Amino acid sequence: MKQPILLLLFALVIAACQQDKKQASANQYNIIPQPVSLTAKTGQFKITGDTKILLASADEGLKTAAAHLASLLIKATGTTVAPVEGSAQKDAILFSLDPSIANDEGYTLSVTPYEVTVKSKTGAGAFYAIQTLRQLMPVEAEAGKTASLSIPCVEITDAPRYGYRGMHLDVGRHFFGVDDVKKYIDLLALHKFNRFHWHLTEDQGWRLEIKKYPKLQTVAACRNETLIGHYNDTPQKYDGKKYCGYYTQEEAREIVRYAAERFVTVIPEIEMPGHGLAAIAAYPELGCTGQPAEVGTKWGIYDNVFCPNEVTFKFLEDVMTEVMDIFPSKYIHIGGDECPKTAWENSGFCQGLIKKNSLKDEHGLQSYFIQRMEKFLNSKGRSIIGWDEILEGGLAPNATVMSWRGTEGGIAAAKQRHDVIMTPTDFCYLDYYQSQDPAEPLAIGGYLPLDKVYGYEPTPAELTPEEAGHILGVQANVWTEYMADFAKVEYMAYPRACALAEVAWSAKEARNYDNFTGRLAHHLKRLQALAVNVATNLYDVKATISAGDGKGILVGLSPKMEGIEIRYTTDGSEPTTASALYEKSILMEKSGTLKAVPFQNGKPVGRGAEAPFKLHKAAGKTISLTNFPAEKYSGAGPGSVINGVAGPTERYGGSEWLGFEGKDFIAIIDLGAETDLNTLTMRFFNGPGQWVYPPKELEVATSSDGSQFQSLGKMASIAAGESKLVEVQFPLTQVKTRYLKVFAARYGLIPEGAQGAGNEAWLFVDEIVVE
């Protein structure tokens, strides 16, 4: 009898082990950001009422981190677990310091069926280990009161790539209460961000109590009304409602304390010398004219900026003194961006100051302004961060540059051995549209999908290893002109902030977008359990249209995710599970509307894609451009303008519009053979509020050999009117040709009085329809 019993016991043990393996393999360890090293193990650690949180030392950082874990467990299980000092034992979560760990924010995490061991160099590392533990817990734990709580066994070694991992929030355009800001910080902590850039002052509102200047609360914190709709809408409309809001100093201190408990440093921003209209409205003597002003009611840039006189510097030094008393951060952000020079150009005082200090021009005066404020802050033991315009006219000696207008500013600063935080609009501006769906909520413009954020590499390849050491990290920015409530902030920020969290934390070579989206699908459920209004477009179908090489029009569909299949039609009918299954690029051979829908388990999931094709005589032919568009507005390449699909009429971002900054549009289209033509129609975007203007002139020429062209004439005085879309039809009466040359001359410098005056206007070009 002994042998059968032993065999039965052996079989039960094998079955249990196999079940453990199934559990381990089923759990995908959906951690964001991805750890440096993760080894899956079999089994689970069960958290019960007997589980203890133990501290191997009385380190304050460990206490703070352990207290955070205790609060998570109270919410998850309803059981109070108070951290106490102790050593390793069964059914315990033990925290200890390990000075051998190289990175101050690094940690090791070991989960066995009997205990959890966390080792870190500092309390910050222990806190990040807790965020990893949290993401290993069931999603249901976020909702609270789970009957049982288990963590899959695992061995993790982890540390961040960058020391600065930031998220920004603009509370000047729209104000968000203390509870909203705390929730924002909670989400930063969950994703291992360690800097909260708090944009506190703007033309449209001053949001921090300054006791020495009470009018900043009674006047600067309120605007009479707010622009509704988009800035480019004509005519502009307003809601007619007074809008107010500011944080008391006690509230600001509470937020600083709350963030510190989550190992997040709050960096306050007080804008100067531009974006100061709200303060000038409260104290007109801060402007160069001294004339009364009103707090801004619409978005954009205002000419009324701080005047670099002693009254202004006294005001700003007083303000900074109170700011430093609230915020212990090493860094104070002083803005420095988008400062029009008109007021200074027209000020006798400013012109005299330029001459007196042998400054080159108004850019030099801005440098003088920034350097003076830097000296004051340095004298108090603080350092400044400024937007990359502070490079103009000479960089302040100890300044850190926040590179937002691309990577050029960051590269220039790093080469000058200045520290840099990378936050370029192309990859880090979360106020841009994240989907090309026409139903997407109103945004400022642009197009920044999830995969583009994830693909960002913050350290420019042009830098030497020594220069690259000055890239402190990366930050995403949330500007709130078009985010009137916190739910919209969450929608715009997440899940794109998840992607940037991984860019900031994980090694470049370890990042894989398909792997990320697999983890993100699970992580989104966690965020939803936390009542975060996430954008759920992960499964949305994205159509990528390739054209311009003479091989016709090819359509690629994504995403390619496990368990997701895309069904499509090309006749405008709604796809079903019986429609064609997408497996490879689709060749569009005739006009019609392509529709595609993602399915999971036979049911639609996510939004579909729709693209109406008009296969005109240039569609799918060969095109070459003399000037290339700006990288961030390069669509799907030059072929975007002859792919048979018209771009959206309300916004210029996305794959159909090509944007040119300071360049003319010059294209040669090879029709492949001599072709009879009647008309050429072009579409241009008109958005003066965003520096976008139609061309001042359009010329079309023909050629039989692609070398020698004969002009068919020019069309000047292209009327823009109030429409965002300018459509121009160029007659091609009795024309037969193989090659067409299209020349659209850029508008040139933006006129005085308009947004961006003195800068080159942008030119945005859509489909060239040849019939």
Cα–Cα distance list, 479 to 340, 411, 471 (Å): 20, 24, 23
* Mean pLDDT for the chain overall: 93
Q: What are the CA-CA distances from residue 280 to residues 171, 216, 286, 312, 490 (Å)?
A: 18, 9, 6, 10, 32
| CA–CA separation, 596 and 566 (whole Å) | 6
Specify whether the CB–CB gap between 625 and 638 falls below 8 A: yes
Q: Provide the pLDDT for residue 146.
A: 73
Reduced to 3 states (helix: H, G, I; strand: E, B; else coil), residue 87 is coil
pLDDT-flagged residues of the chain (< 50): 1-2, 4-27
Here the tokens at position 128 are 């990040």
Terminal CA-CA length for the chain: 91
Give yes or no for a contact between 104 and 125, defined as CB atoms under 8 angstroms apart: yes
- Would you give the DSSP letter of residue 399? P
Are the CB atoms for 664 and 743 separated by under 8 Å? yes
Q: Could you please report the per-residue DSSP string of 598-653? A: EEETTEE-S--EEEEE---TTTTSEEEESSPPPGGG-BTBGGGGGSS-PPPSS---
Given a contact cutoff of 8 angstroms between Cβ atoms, the answer to whether 328 and 256 are in contact is yes
CB within 8 A of 133, min separation 6: which ones?
69, 109, 111, 116, 118, 151
- Residue pair 89/52 in contact by the 8 Å Cβ criterion: yes
- Residue 385 tokens read as 């961060």
Query: Mapping DSSP to helix (H, G, I), strand (E, B) and coil, where does residue 8 land?
Result: helix
Q: What is the pTM assigned to this prediction?
A: 0.91
Cα dist. 149→26, 43, 117, 495 in Å?
A: 17, 13, 17, 26
The set of residues, in sequence order, having a beta carbon less than 8 Å from that of 150 and lying 6+ positions away, is 44, 45, 46, 47, 137, 138
259 with 266: CB under 8 angstroms? yes
Note whether 506 and 128 are within 8 A (CB).
no
| pLDDT for the residue 10 | 46
> What type of residue is 48?
T
Q: Tell me the one-letter amino acid at 658.
A: L
Q: What are the residues facing 325 on neighbouring strands?
A: none
Whole-angstrom distance, CA of residue 294 vs CA of residue 726: 34
pLDDT tens column, 745-764: 999 999 988 888 889 999 99
What's the 3-state SS for 514-547? HHHHHHHHHHHHHHHHCCCCCCCCCCCCEEEEEC
- The CA distance from 142 to 140, in Å, is 5
Which whole-number Å values give the CA distances from 440 to 52, 434, 570, in the listed order?
47, 8, 24
